Amino acid sequence: MRRFALLIVAGMATAVSITVAPGDASANPAKPAKAAARRAINDQGTMRLCSERGGKRSCRRVAVFQGHGASPSTLRTEPLERPSGNLWVFAENLGEEFKGNIYKPDGSFDDAALAQLDNMWRDTRSGDVRAVRAELYEHLSRIYDHFEGHRISLVSGFRFHERDSSRHYHASAMDIRVKDVSIREVYDFAESLDVGVANGGALGVGIYPTSQFVHVDFRAPGDPSYRWTDWSGHDSKRKSPGRTQPARKPVS
Please give the pLDDT value at position 104: 98
Listed in order, strand segments (DSSP E) in 30-134 are 46-53, 56-63, 65-69, 86-91, 96-101
Name the strands in the sheet holding 96-101, side by side, starting at the edge strand that comes first in the sequence.
Answer: 65-69, 226-230, 203-208, 213-218, 173-178, 152-156, 86-91, 96-101
pLDDT more than 70, % of the chain:
75
pLDDT at 32 over 70: no
pLDDT at 214 over 50: yes
Distances from the Cα of 240 to the Cα of 44, 91, 176, 234, angstroms: 12, 25, 21, 12
Please give the pLDDT value at position 76: 97
What are 101-112's pLDDT values in tens digits? 999 999 999 999
Handedness of CA 140, 142, 146, 149 (dihedral sign): positive
Domain ranges of the chain: 2-28, 49-230
Distances from the Cα of 66 to the Cα of 13, 200, 218, angstroms: 49, 25, 19
Residue 138 CA neighbour count, 13 Å, CB half? 16
What are 142-161's pLDDT values in tens digits? 999 999 999 999 999 999 98
How far apart, in whole angstroms, are the C-alpha atoms of residue 131 and residue 111? 10
pLDDT tier, 125 (very low <50, low <70, confident <90, very high otherwise): very high
pLDDT tier, 246 (very low <50, low <70, confident <90, very high otherwise): very low
Radius of gyration for the alpha carbons in the chain, expressed in angstroms and rounded: 26
Residue type, 156: S
Instruction: Average the pLDDT over 24-39 and give the result.
Output: 44
Q: Cα-flanking dihedrals φ and ψ of residue 109, to 5°? A: -65, 140
Q: Between residues 54 and 243, which one has the greater pLDDT?
A: 54
pLDDT more than 90, % of the chain:
64
**Burial of residue 18, with CB atoms counted within 10 A of its CB: 0-12 exposed, 13-18 middle, 19 or more buried:** exposed
